[in-house]
Structure 1
Amino acid sequence: MNTQKVLQEIRSQKFQPVYLVLGTEDFLQNQVREAFLTSLNVDQDDLNFAQFDLEQDSLDVVLDEAQSTPFFGDYRLIFVEHPFFLTAEKKSNAPEHNLDGLLDYLKNPVDTSILVIFASYEKMDERKKVTKQLKQAATLVEVQPMKEAEVRRYLQQTLDNEGLVMQREAFELFVRLTDVSLSKAMQELDKLRLYAGEEKRISKYAVEELIPKSLEHNVFDLTTYVLQGKTEAALRLYEDLHIQGEETIKINAILISQIRLLLQTAILMKVGYQQGNIVETLKIHPYRVKLAMQQARKFDQKALSLLYDELIENDYLIKSGRMDKEFLFQLFVLKTANQLQAK
């Protein structure tokens, strides 16, 4: 069932006896949790609330709780985490679970108990009987990571609902720095919301100042500067990373992977591959492919190939100790800028 529809029903106190929350999107998972706790007006210490981890707790304890009468209330709420037996995964130190007991309960669940099973997995083992029965008996709530377009819509709707205005360039940067992850974006949005204050306007400057950049983000920018022949900006960013304690070998390795991605993307685009085909072939996030396609269109395939070969050679020279790593990296940036400007 659609997550928003389920949330609306929970908030309207239209409960089902068993829910299966499937997926790895933390933000949506937490929304489901909070909806139950708020709607039933319970907290972690409430006598009508219990939480179990099936990597440590027995399923029999969960079923006993589910079959108990609520204590001065209408419902007993039970959260169940890590139902690993729904997957092909094996847990050596986990308890043996009474799956037959669960199957019997699913046939006739107690209507005063709300059993919410959080399966934080990308997929389950559909061959297992318990998986099939649970999917049939429970209200399935999909909380898988959203696609780029869905994340953008959700963020824009959130901004609109709160009366926040984010500049277009700021929005694009925000999406990139949060890796098109709804959980990351909603977490980081709290800082921007506070910064915007009563003006409710979020600039690109605010995003640059408040949203942290990972090493991968910085090397993406470094790659862009190198390919655009922006020597000063590339060397300044490299020095900043070096001051922050990042090793040249690590920076070079990520730069190699970035150029490799651009080269692979350029080759696949040349033979007619579209974004979806490239994602399937390279097995990487669609947004990374989208950015790579935008960059690859601007550069000659042969030039990318030469850059890649030079970076591989530099990696060998650095690791073998034949040349100073900082000097070699700076030389690479300067040579690349001169080569690109000469074209």
Structure 2
Amino acid sequence: MNYLIYGEDRGRIQKEIQKIVKDNMSNDVKPDTITYNMATTSLEEILADAQTIPFFTEHKIIVAQNCSFLSAANEGSQNTESLEAYLEHPMLTTTLILSGNFEKVDKRKKIVKTIQKTCRVISCSTLDEQGKRAQVIQTLKASQLKLSDEELNHLVSLLPCDSAIIENELAKLIAYPDTLNMRVIDLLITRQIEDDVFALADAIMKGREKQVFKIWNDLNALNKEPIFMISVLASQFRFYYQVKTLLVSGLNENDITQELKAHPYRVKLSVKAVGAVSCDQLLKVLAMLADTDQKIKSGLLDKQLGFELFLIHCKGVFA
């Protein structure tokens, strides 16, 4: 059996590959596993290896990463006729895994149609909030870890929608020798600054001043400098402005993802976030950030006072 494993969730892709390797073990002996990067390797070289009998084991697995020539974004190009021929008549001693970090395959392509007919296709899309919660519960249950509903909800709120990061963070809880509680969870789980920045920007645009200052106070307690926060917020609002401009011009979510070469999940969240705001409002915030940054760096404003004044003045922009 050969495979195509694709999607935006790198962690889930890697777990699927590891599962295939485990399923192909014989007498507790792992098959030879060879990994190629399609960005630097030709299909001909990979297929030549696939058609070679393994020397030291009964079976071998070849992983071809970054198969962007299969994506709907049409990134990269390969002569796929030899791959089509191989998939129609594959080596029984080789499992070929084609993988790539893209949202969709181009189902119009002949090679994709051949893959769908001859391979098992596994889509690893980014987790949503429900999927994130399900993964956390499943992992905790498998490790026989029990949390109260309050502790579970708090843990889920701290984790991003990234399966690889979730597994790494939960591994710390699983290894903890004593009883878990809210304090231990806060100590062990690494807060994701990207999530905090998104939550802060979202609260700013919704005019939720109490929530804005709660998030900022939490970040301040973690020693996040006002200058750093100005920088990351400026980056976030620039991205919002780009997304909003493209939406106004008539592009859809997929078009925006390709145009900005951004992560599909980030674009999806941003499209939702900017739905009720205008380009002018976003530009106003960017101008305020630039002005605050300049005044702090020139010594005209205390950095903490300056940043907090910016947060207060934002309420007037989105009133």
Aligned residue number for residue 213 of structure 1: 191
Q: How does 1:153-302 map to 2 (within 5 A)?
A: 153-195=134-176, 197=177, 199=179, 201=180, 203-219=181-197, 227=208, 229=210, 236-237=217-218, 239-240=220-221, 244=225, 246-247=227-228, 249-250=230-231, 253=234
State the aligned residue count: 289
Distance 1:175 1:80, change over 3 A: same
Which has the larger displacement, 82-91 or 327-336?
327-336
Distance 1:74 1:239, change over 3 A: closer
When the two chains are superposed, the root-mean-square deviation of aligned CA atoms in Å is 4.6
Which has the larger displacement, 126-135 or 315-324?
315-324
Aligned residue number for residue 63 of structure 2: 79
TM-score between the two structures when normalised by the length of structure 2: 0.69
Matches of 1:175 and 1:287 in 2, distance apart?
A: 20
Matches of 2:236 and 2:10 in 1, distance apart?
A: 30
CA offset digits 1:187-207 (Å, max 9, x no partner):
210111112x264x4x22222
- Is there any run of 5+ residues in structure 1 with no aligned partner, and where? 1-15, 92-96, 265-280, 293-300, 302-306
- Determine which of 15, 21, 27 is the counterpart of 1:31: 15
1:24/1:143 contact within 8 Å kept: yes
Matches of 1:232 and 1:53 in 2, distance apart?
A: 45
Matches of 1:231 and 1:154 in 2, distance apart?
A: 29
Superposition deviation, residue 138 in structure 1: 0.9
Matches of 1:184 and 1:133 in 2, distance apart?
A: 34
Matches of 1:232 and 1:121 in 2, distance apart?
A: 37
- Is there any run of 5+ residues in structure 2 with no aligned partner, and where? 245-255, 257-263
Aligned residue number for residue 315 of structure 1: 289
Aligned residue number for residue 114 of structure 1: 95
Superposition deviation, residue 184 in structure 1: 1.7
Distance 1:324 1:285, change over 3 A: same
TM-score between the two structures when normalised by the length of structure 1: 0.64
Matches of 1:150 and 1:19 in 2, distance apart?
A: 23
CA offset digits 1:182-238 (Å, max 9, x no partner):
22211210111112x264x4x222222122223344456768799464899677546
Distance 1:70 1:317, change over 3 A: closer
Matches of 2:185 and 2:46 in 1, distance apart?
A: 45
1:76/1:113 contact within 8 Å kept: yes
Superposition deviation, residue 55 in structure 1: 1.7
**Which AA in structure 2 matches 1:129?**
K
**Which AA in structure 2 matches 1:138?**
C
Q: How does 1:127-138 map to 2 (within 5 A)?
A: 127-138=108-119
Distance 1:207 1:40, change over 3 A: same
* SS state at 2:81 partner: helix
Matches of 2:33 and 2:75 in 1, distance apart?
A: 28
Distance 1:325 1:125, change over 3 A: farther
Determine which structure has more spread, i.e. the larger CA radius of gyration. Answer: 1
CA offset digits 1:249-299 (Å, max 9, x no partner):
326647979x99xxx9xxxxxxxxxxxxxxxx9x9669969x98xxxxxxx
1:77/1:115 contact within 8 Å kept: yes
Aligned residue number for residue 75 of structure 2: 89
Aligned residue number for residue 125 of structure 2: 144
